[in-house]
Structure 1
């Protein structure tokens, strides 16, 4: 009985000493623009195996018993990686609010597909693979799409029917010719920015792929940047003016989000005489 009592007493003493030597690093991760908390953000110390994600309040707390100098890394898919040097001593560290900056270079280089209105008008010749070309990282394909767009450059001579386009995982290629018609959602540039492209026969999350690749346009408000965007432009080509307005509520506490976008493009006369242009788009 005495041996058991001494063993339990020694056990609790060791546990107490370990608890005294344990300290934590904690903080709250937020979006730099909207100041809203970010959930499921990965947080870990470089060189250590322990990793956790932020909770519904954007908070994290990492507990360690080893002292020393470390780098705290905070990363999320849509944001630039943040690395914070910390010195772990005999006290807890509260970093307070940590703001992550959205990675706009990813949006510009991968997800943003630029299509001219001339390419949107023609439902036969111009429904080629230019949009797919400009969404890739390949240097040759990017230059070919930009420099030879008006010459209707086609990868290896393939027609656009060999490339698949999806809106929220729904196929948009026409049944009668197999070609996607980008002019069907023209003027909604703000809501079609989030696009995932798979090159060639590479499989994606929505399809098995095609010879010319596949593009999935994610229209969900939760996957787009929250806030208000107003833009206007003038042109001397198909239309002479364009006005566009978009509002995205972002994900609220109730896990609900909505987006409203509208635009108008007009011209009494385009570049070619007698070409009236008046187009409205609403999402």
Structure 2
């Protein structure tokens, strides 16, 4: 009798285990990678609600098999609804759901707008302390009102927060110091406008220490290009401007390849037959690829490749008398007509192919 009862219990337990249909996953901060507790998980079509635990993990069972929509609800964080497939008699792994806080999303939109409407970082001279490399804070300003205003609003006037030269600001890519050995600063023009690919960053103002640096008096920035840190999916954008370039198109695609592999690919093109300054044409393209293999939660190997070949006509400063004679504040002494064709005397060709293994 006891053997029969034990056998029946085992059979019933097996039936319950087989009949378990549901989903499981984890919700994490897209910037820090930390799990987020108390996130509301809604299986929309079946009207089932659950919450994440202290580690950001969730598991929902007793669901019906088929396609459904998974919604993520939180007062601080936001994420797009996910299309999911629930497999019968199986707890389907959803994987990692990365969410962003609302303030970060607003700042990113403001940064995209600022990148279009402000003077382009590459319009100035290529000499030291001018041009693209001198405006290092324009990419790293995030989360600080003063730093954002100093970077976007006053950077065209070569304003430096607290008067520190940009050689006192250190920039890393995946923890690798990328300040130039000869000039001491970071050459932001090498990124070629790959804003979406270089969006994930950790910024520390002043001498505050971080996980990758002891700090610097003008601050430190670490750009995180690990493929697993990008939200899964595709993002595209198209912008028109009347400044240094008239058209900008870019796209970013990230996906989980399975077996711990993640891939992120991004491309950008910026073009102008002539900018707002006479004789300043613009022709730039950029390509970014990141591949990461995660061996565990604490160990991974990442390869990042990017390059942004750029060709542009430069503008030059002159005297007020010349502007008065020309009748325009947009007069450029570096261009003119030769044999009936427009020609620019100063053309910059730049490309810095980069590979980072970390």
- Is 1:130 matched with 2:137? yes
After superposition, residues 80-229 of structure 1 pair within 5 angstroms as 102-108=99-105, 115=115, 118-122=120-124, 123=126, 124=128, 125-126=130-131, 127-131=134-138, 134-137=141-144, 139-229=145-235
Contact 1:43 1:75 in 2 (8 A): no
Alpha-carbon shift at residue 176 of structure 1 (Å): 1.2
Unaligned runs of 5+ in 1: 1-25, 32-38, 45-50, 62-73, 82-96
Correspondence for 1:243 among 243, 249, 253: 249
Answer whether contact 2:267 2:287 (CA < 8 A) is retained. Answer: yes
8 Å contact from structure 2 (residues 78, 102) kept in 1:
no
Render the CA deviation track for 1:174-229: whole Å, top value 9, x for unaligned: 11111111110022111111010011011111111101000000011211111111
Contact 2:250/2:268, CA 8 A, preserved across alignment? yes
Q: Deviations over 1:153-187 (max 9, x none)?
A: 11121110000011111111111111111110022
Q: CA 1:280–1:147 in structure 2 vs 1: closer, same or farther (change >3 Å)? A: closer
Q: TM-score, normalised by structure 2?
A: 0.51
Q: Is the 8 A contact 2:252 2:264 kept in 1?
A: yes
Among residues 269, 273, 279, which one is paired with 2:274 in the alignment? Answer: 269
C-alpha separation between the residues in 2 aligned to 1:142 and 1:245?
Answer: 25
| Candidates 251, 257, 263, aligned match of 1:258 | 263
Would you say the 8 A contact 1:111–1:195 is kept in 2? Answer: no
Whole-Å Cα distance in 1 between the matches of residues 186 and 135 of structure 2? Answer: 8
Residue of structure 1 in register with 2:59 after alignment: 59
Flag the 1:30–1:152 CA change in 2: closer, same or farther, 3 A. same
Q: How far apart are the structure 1 equivalents of 2:284 and 2:172? A: 23
Secondary structure of 1:258's match? strand
CA contact (8 A) 2:245 2:282 kept: yes
Unaligned runs of 5+ in 2: 1-21, 28-32, 39-52, 62-71, 80-93, 289-358
Once the two structures are TM-superposed, the CA of residue 27 in structure 1 deviates from its matched residue by 7.6
Deviation for aligned residue 1:118: 2.0
Native 8 Å contact 2:104 2:143 kept in 1: no
Is 2:201–2:224's contact at 8 Å kept on the other side of the alignment? yes
User: In 1, are the aligned partners of 2:202 and 2:223 still within 8 Å (CA)?
Assistant: yes
Q: Deviations over 1:29-60 (max 9, x none)?
A: 466xxxxxxx984657xxxxxx65466xx538
Gap change, CA 1:121 and 1:179, over 3 Å in 2: farther
Pair 236,255 (structure 1): closer, same or farther in 2 beyond 3 Å: same
